[in-house]
Amino acid sequence: MKTTPILLVTLITSLAFGHEGVELGPNGGRILEFSDNETMHGEVTVKDGQFHIAVLDKDMKPVAVNQQSLSAMTGDRAKPVKLEVSKDAKGFLIPVVKAGEWLILRYKKTADSKAITARLEYNTATCEECKNPEWLCKCQPEK
């Protein structure tokens, strides 16, 4: 199969460059896409043992959380664990997952909207270059 060498090179390259080099928001949190056209984002920060997820528009300005909903899961595919989600004046609150686990979010702009899925690996290992946790790494990926 011709795609096997390409997949192998991609895998080896991704392992060689451990940095995540993620997009960070105005509050220093990790940006996740909450739309198909980059008009709605979620900024994930951690405080007091909770993920705080602010909803931001295309200009990275805060959006009031009214009709929007968010569901969250963690764990493996065979046995996912649903997480409790609550709202506050600035967005959504979710308990922090264990280091190395995935946080799977399903955002809906309104009750009738199509859900947008966003994923975040909560990699708390420290980046040697920028000294941030890998899930908030400021380093740019090598090209």
- The 10s digit of each residue's pLDDT in 3-14 is 444 433 443 333
**pLDDT reported for residue 77:** 83
Pick the residue with more confidence: 75 or 34? 34
The pLDDT tens digits for 84-106 are 999 998 899 999 999 999 999 99
With CA atoms as reference, report the closest residue to 123 among 34, 46, 42: 46
Q: Is 27 exposed, middle or buried (0-12, 13-18, 19+ CB in 10 A)?
A: middle
**What is the rounded average pLDDT for all residues in the chain?**
86
Structural domains in the chain plus CATH codes: 20-136 (2.60.40)
Arithmetic mean of pLDDT, 69-82: 92
With CA atoms as reference, report the closest residue to 25 among 50, 46, 41, 43: 43
Q: Is 88 left (phi over 0), alpha (psi -120 to 50) or beta?
A: beta
**pLDDT reported for residue 142:** 62
- Tell me the whole-structure pTM to 2 decimals: 0.82
Using alpha carbons, list the distances in angstroms from residue 11 to 7, 74, 76.
Answer: 6, 24, 21
